[in-house]
Amino acid sequence: MLLILKCQCNIIWLKLKYLSTIILIGDIMMLENDLKDSEMKYPDKDILRHVMDRIAKGETQLIETIGRADINLLWTGGFMVRGFYKAHNWTFDMPSIVGGSDRGPGPGPTLLASLGACLIIGVVYNAAIRDIKIYRLSVNVSGVKGDPRTFYTGFGGNPGYENIHLVFYVETEASEEVMRDLIEHSIRTSPVASSLRARITYDLKLSIRGRG
């Protein structure tokens, strides 16, 4: 059974439909084909439950470790920016139409990707804990910015995303009611989705050095 769930983040509406087939494009289709004969494995449930118990007991060091992220970013010319986090690194860039070299996704699409990844991880986590079997899971995330002119001119309305649309593709034997509850719960408890809804305080510090 393939379930498709759609939700619009600013209103939080949900709609489920049953489909027997689905068409995905580009790299997603290729990846789906590579995975179609593979058995998706959940994270180790014993480890998940152990972590849950430690958090429920208020283990301060663990809570602080999973609750904090420090990322360093470096401008590398043009609009390109390299990000560094632990052993990982990635490249941001802007499309060529606005003067970039298109060597990586922009910060906006990366934000949407982070939201989608966070929600998938949340669904997998909660499905594993609840013993709900999911065979395949993917999500399409699209966003519409309020007024893109503001970034380039300094004048206009909200330059950020005002509408974010999510479409979940789930292959599962679980019922519509079960999947609806699981995905709604994952959206409510998502750190990234919660950050997008929250009024965030920015603590700015500046270090300047000259040459010579």
Beta strands in 9-110 (DSSP E): 13-19, 72-75, 81-85, 88-92
What residues contact 210, with CB distance under 8 A and at least 6 apart?
Answer: none
Question: HSE-up of 67 (CA within 13 Å, CB side)?
Answer: 8
pLDDT at 6: 55
For 141, the enclosing helix (H) or strand (E) is: strand 134-145
**For 162-191, what is each residue's pLDDT tens digit?**
888 888 888 888 888 888 888 889 999 999
Helix orientation angle between 107-129 and 176-188, rounded to the nearest 10 degrees? 130
Q: What is the pTM of this model?
A: 0.80
pLDDT at 174: 87
| pLDDT band at residue 27 under the 50/70/90 scheme | low
Question: HSE-up of 130 (CA within 13 Å, CB side)?
Answer: 17
Distance from C-alpha of 170 to C-alpha of 2, rounded to nearest angstrom: 6
pLDDT at 198: 75
pLDDT, averaged across the chain: 82
Distance from C-alpha of 107 to C-alpha of 183, rounded to nearest angstrom: 25
The rounded Cα 204 to chain-centroid distance in angstroms is 25
Distance from C-alpha of 61 to C-alpha of 58, rounded to nearest angstrom: 9
Report the Cα–Cα distance between both ends of the chain, in Å, rounded: 67
Distance from C-alpha of 6 to C-alpha of 168, rounded to nearest angstrom: 6
Distance from C-alpha of 89 to C-alpha of 80, rounded to nearest angstrom: 13
Describe the chain by its helix, strand, coil percentages, rounded to 5: 40, 25, 40
Q: In this structure, what DSSP letter does residue 117 have?
A: H
The tokens for 27 are 């790299």
**For 132-147, what is each residue's pLDDT tens digit?**
988 888 888 988 888 9
Q: With beta carbons less than 8 A apart as the criterion, state whether 177 and 14 touch.
A: no
Check whether 106 has a pLDDT greater than 90. yes
Order of strands across the sheet with 161-172?
13-19, 2-8, 161-172, 134-145
Check whether 3 has a pLDDT greater than 70. no
For the chain, the C-alpha Rg in angstroms (whole number) is: 20
Check whether 37 has a pLDDT greater than 80. no
